[in-house]
Amino acid sequence: MKPLLHHVIRERPLLADGAMGTELMHAGLEQGSSGEAWNLTHPDRVLAIQRRYVEAGADCLLTNTFGGCRIMLNRHARADMVAEVNAAGVAIARRAFGARDGYVIGDIGPFGGLMEPYGEFTEAQVRDAFTEQARALVEAGADAIIIETQTSIEELRLGLSAAKHAGAPCVIGSMAYDVTLDGSTFRTMMGVDPEQAAAFMAANGADIVALNCGTGMDMTRARQAVERYRQTTSLPVMVQPNAGQPKLVNMRVVYDETPDEMVRGVKPLLDAGAAIIGACCGSTPDHIRAFRRAIDEHVLVHRGEGA
Ligand SMILES: [Zn+2]
């Protein structure tokens, strides 16, 4: 049987994939429509994106289910299709690996609103939505579940608990940090810092602590986050930064960090102890291919040292 994700990364670092959202846009998804629905309506296009990440060397694929909970799908009048959308997401990622034994990570993004007393959603609604999605991903055979782009401890707690209760073989919590205005540090939009997040995740059943996306979080900031996580917990760390900062060019959001620029940050991340490295918004299979080479070199050097 394939070893559990959080066990295998104690032996060697793994490579995750790059962006899905921006790649879906390139494949013709219109702004504001449901990328997750494409698992049912355009599975071939989702598969083609994920195959390119596998060909680039990714060991892990995140399912195309970021907005696949009932509350998010309801915005596209597809709340009744949670099970189908998520099962198809797992099946497509599995197919993208072909004969390779990669790790399919079931992706759960934010539910997209605020909970009481700040917003209109009750805690029970959010818990039910995450639980339903997590069950669908686990039943379809996901190797892990990632609760990602999280900014609040309350929502993170519901996500982690939904993944645990669904029986996910491995549970990952991933926060989105923003660099503060004075540039001195970073924390989530809701004011959570890396130490708080890591301690909370360790105490609430996460197997891997992670960060992804965020504002102003380049590879250097990502390394600082890894260091702060590692000072707080012994859990393995996963990192998926954006490919630079978003810029509006001809009414389109573009990310400007090239594979050559971004890959310079990979070795420092590995030296800081990152166990899974991928990338978020704006990254492409070319970024992931560059990361593959950097990770392989790092592993070789460490074998040479007899480490
Ligand atoms: Zn992102």
Q: Report how far residue 28's alpha carbon sits from residue 25's, in angstroms, rounded to the nearest whole number.
A: 5
| Tally: H helices and E strands in the chain | 13, 12
Averaged pLDDT, 21-36: 94
Q: Which amino acid is at 98?
A: G
pTM over the 0.85 mark:
yes
- Least confident residue range of 10-14, 204-208, 242-246: 242-246
Query: In this predicted structure, what is the pLDDT of residue 249?
Result: 86
Cα–ligand 1 centroid distance for 219 (angstroms): 13
Q: In whole angstroms, give the CA distance from residue 60 to residue 71.
A: 27
Report the sign of the C-alpha dihedral through residues 233, 262, 62, 24, in that order. positive
Residue type, 103: Y
Q: How far, in Å, is the centroid of ligand 1 from the Cα of 30?
A: 17
177 alpha carbon – ligand 1 mean position (Å): 11
How many A from CA of 280 to the centre of ligand 1? Answer: 4
Give the tens place of pLDDT for each residue, 149-201. Answer: 999 999 999 999 999 999 999 999 999 999 999 999 999 999 999 999 999 99
Full strand arrangement of the beta sheet holding 60-62: 14-15, 274-277, 237-240, 208-212, 171-175, 144-150, 103-108, 60-62
Distance from residue 10's CA to the centre of ligand 1 (Å): 26
Q: Specify the pLDDT at position 305.
A: 64
Cα(282) to centroid of ligand 1, in Å?
7
Q: 3-state DSSP: the chain helix, strand, coil percent, rounded to 5?
A: 45, 15, 40
Evaluate if residue 216 carries a pLDDT over 50: yes
Cα(307)–Cα(300) distance, integer angstroms = 10
Please give the sequence-ordered ranges of beta strands (E in DSSP) within the chain, or none if there are none.
Answer: 14-15, 60-62, 103-108, 144-150, 171-175, 178-179, 186-187, 208-212, 237-240, 246-249, 252-255, 274-277
